[in-house]
A and B are shown apart, each in its own frame.
Chain A
Amino acid sequence: MKTFEARHWTFLGLLVVVAGAMILNIKLDMRVSPYTQRLYDCIDSLPDGSVLIVSFDHEASSLPEIRPIAQSVLRHTFKKGHKLIGVSLLAEGTLIGYRLMQETAREYGRVYGVDYVYLGFRPQYIAAILAMGESIGTTYPLDYLGRPYGQFELTRSVKNYDDVAAVLSIADGSLTTHWIEYGQARYGVRVLGAVTAAMVTTYDPYLSSGQMYAMMGGLRGAAEYEKLLAVSGGGARGMLAQSSAHLYIILLIALGNILYFASRKKGRGA
């Protein structure tokens, strides 16, 4: 039988740390960052009944992180009574987005066609973003379930970005960049982002320049948003596991460096 090597122990350690944190399920209090606060304030300050496009620009692989992020913002928009038009620029995000919108709308008793409509996927994201700037109804003649765009009370009054308060891109990659470069730069639509932690620094320059109006990132952002909404969700639940994993990695880095400097000292002494 093959013996355990150092890396196997590190794998096992991570498993124990994350599983332990999930089982303990302790809620940690946290400071709300100015980034998350800005997104919250932006959605909160929109007049009730404002129309937002929510774009599910992510894949299935990031679902554990994306779900709490999306749920927290969707809860806020539905709670405020905003009207949502759901789209997806990645095929894999289509089903997830549909499911998330349905679930969250049901929580707040929102009605399909009146409070929200889901249009689904369009190939070639740049062309889709630009085409929606001209006419959403022409880009999406039918909704996700095959009903005509003009059939719904909500979509009848929405021609293009001029009738939309903001676009919220829920992303795990660089697709939000295209909303900024084509939606914001070309048509002047306000772009908001709800992105995975790994993508936060990618959007910092756009946030700083004002091309992206507000953004929240990662599980931490979702947990902060849940705190602002005073609801319990996956963000806060996942934070303990993520924080424990981060602490474990910090300890591993420290241990690795201690062993490295000890071996160097030993080498010089010999």
Chain B
Amino acid sequence: MGRKLPLFICFIFGLVMFAQYFSAHPTARALNQAILDYWQIVFAFTLIVGVFSYLKNNMTEMSRNKDTVYRAVGLLGFLSMPVFALIWGIKADTPFMWTFENVQAPMQSTVFALLAFFVASASFRGFRARSFPAAVLLISALLMLLSRSNIGGFFSDGLPQVADWIRNYPSMAARRAILIGIGLGSLTTSLRVIVGIERTWLGGDK
């Protein structure tokens, strides 16, 4: 019974959501709206679970003297933002906005920008034409780099067009094949979940 009830609920909701997709009847639309509202509410509760999990995990590790300073900084940021928002609000020129714009955004951009240094290093040390496929990849990458910068046209007006051709034919064909594969995979997995064949989401396959 412990497993049958969630399977039954899953089957009913799967079927209803599938069927209402093909109906423009006001009842079907109202039902769709109600389920979507509940979906967002359920998701919001999962965020609360995440918040408590983060807090609990960090407090436990701090009590074991593991990375205490880093965890304290993490928790300080984690707790200060909601406090700022609750006391001063989230409009312009509030501590919340100031912290977001002058601490969080620059820090995240900095971490993201570090990628450029790794790319530069990897391009020198690893991007070698060791075989024919590697040479094809290398040439394609060079063409794309040139086309996405302002120097492609400097070499030849036709160069960006060659890069566009790579983007529009070989690259798109591969990507489209992957997307169709993902779509078919999602469809079969969804069907397996709805009819109860796929039960790993219940925490096991029995």
Residues of A within 8 A of B (CB): 6-7, 10-11, 13-14, 18, 28, 30-31, 33, 59-64, 92, 95-96, 99, 102, 122-124, 127-128, 130-131, 134-135, 138-139, 145, 186, 197, 200-202, 204-205, 208, 218, 220, 223, 239-240, 242-243, 245-250, 252-253, 255-257, 260
Contacts and interface: CB of A to CB of B under 8 A. Distances in A.
27 contacts: A31-B160, A33-B164, A60-B100, A60-B104, A61-B108, A62-B109, A95-B90, A95-B100, A96-B105, A99-B92, A123-B43, A124-B43, A128-B40, A130-B36, A138-B33, A138-B37, A204-B167, A204-B168, A205-B175, A240-B150, A247-B151, A252-B124, A253-B123, A253-B138, A255-B124, A257-B128, A257-B129
Contacts of A30: 150, 153
B112 A260 contact: no
Contact of B145 (A28, A95, A201, A246): A246
A14 B92 CA distance: 35
Contacts of A186: 21
A239 B150 contact: yes
B107 to A, nearest CB: 8
A138 B33 CA distance: 9
A253 to B, nearest CB: 5
A5 to B, nearest CB: 10
B19 interface: no
Contacts of A92: 104
A131 B37 contact: yes
B176 A205 contact: yes
B115 to A, nearest CB: 10
Contacts of B101: 95, 99
B123 A245 contact: no
Given A204-B171, A243-B149, A246-B148, A135 B33 contact: yes
Given A95-B90, A205-B179, A249 B119 contact: yes
B153 to A, nearest CB: 6
A248 B151 CA distance: 12
A124 B40 contact: yes
Contacts of B73: none
A60 B105 contact: yes
A30 B152 CA distance: 10
A28 B154 CA distance: 11
A127 B120 contact: no
Interface string B36-48: 1101100110010
A31 B151 CA distance: 11
B125 A256 contact: yes
Interface string B104-141: 11001101110011011101111111100000001001
Nearest to A254: B142
B97 interface: yes
Contact of B146 (A96, A124, A246): A246
B56 interface: no
Interface in B154-206: 157, 160, 164, 167-168, 171-172, 175-176, 179
Contact of A197 (B32, B121, B142, B148): B148
B91 interface: yes
A7 B121 contact: yes
Given A61-B108, A260-B128, A248 B168 contact: no
B29 interface: yes
A220 B92 contact: no
A124 B111 CA distance: 26
A64 B116 CA distance: 13
A250 B145 contact: yes
A67 to B, nearest CB: 10
A131 B164 CA distance: 37
A205 B33 contact: no
